[in-house]
Amino acid sequence: MAAGNNTLVNKRVVPSLSEAQRLQQKTRLAQAVPHLAAAFAQALSRWQGDPVLRLVGLPFVTECYRSPERQNELYAQGRSKPGPIVTYKRGGQSKHNVGPPTPALDVAFRLADGSVSWSGLLLSKFARLMKAADARVVWGGDWATFKDRPHFEVLTGQKGGVGLG
């Protein structure tokens, strides 16, 4: 029996990161405070252990540390520059501007066709796993005012970025 060929035909395409993307993710995770990186690793492993979730998309870290300069550029977007508003924090006010180690990271999903998704449904499913992994994880999708669904952060001794950056 040509089992090998049959397996190929029936094989479902599982979303994956390229070698370069894997390396980039490792670098980003290394910037995160250890318990946030650990929560991500645990949530990711649960996600990949789920027969359905592992096929719909692969969670990956799009950003961790962000320089105050880059934060100011993002703040300008939707205000003095074109584009949608993506943040309400100026340089130095975001948890992304702390560190490294940085107490915040943003997540998106790599799909099987190589594209990137910020699906609110997938993010809420991943948020459940992140919060289960560590009770200190706060999900931006739970915020009452500006829902920042790709965003996860952990509480630190430092107060909300005041006086930082």
Binding residues (CB under 5 A) for Zn ion: these are 106, 151
- Which residue from 47, 61, 33, 74 is spatially nearest to 129, judged by alpha carbons? 47
Least distance CB 155 / Zn ion (angstroms): 15
- In the bound state with Zn ion, the residue whose beta carbon lies nearer, of 30 and 146, is 146
Which one, 112 or 160, has the nearer CB to Zn ion? Answer: 160
For residue 56, which of 146, 119, 139 has the smallest C-alpha distance? 119
Say if CB 116 and CB 25 are below 8 A apart: no
CA–CA distance, 66 with 143 (Å, rounded to integer)? 21
**Of 106 and 123, which has the nearer Cβ to Zn ion?**
106
Task: Provide, rounded to whole angstroms, the least separation between the CB of residue 152 and Zn ion.
Answer: 7
Distance CA 65, CA 100 (A): 6
Closest contact distance (angstroms) between CB of 125 and Zn ion is 18
Q: Which residue is nearest to Zn ion (CB)?
A: 151
Q: How far is the CB of 8 from Zn ion (least distance, A)?
A: 40
Nearer to Zn ion, 47 or 106 (CB): 106
Q: How far is the CB of 97 from Zn ion (least distance, A)?
A: 11
Q: By C-beta, is 50 or 88 nearer to Zn ion?
A: 88
Buried b (16+ CB within 10 A) or exposed e, 127-165: bebbbebbeebbbbbeeeeeebbbbbbbebeeeebeebb
**By the 8 A CB rule, do 77 and 86 touch?**
yes
Which of helix, strand or coil describes residue 147? coil
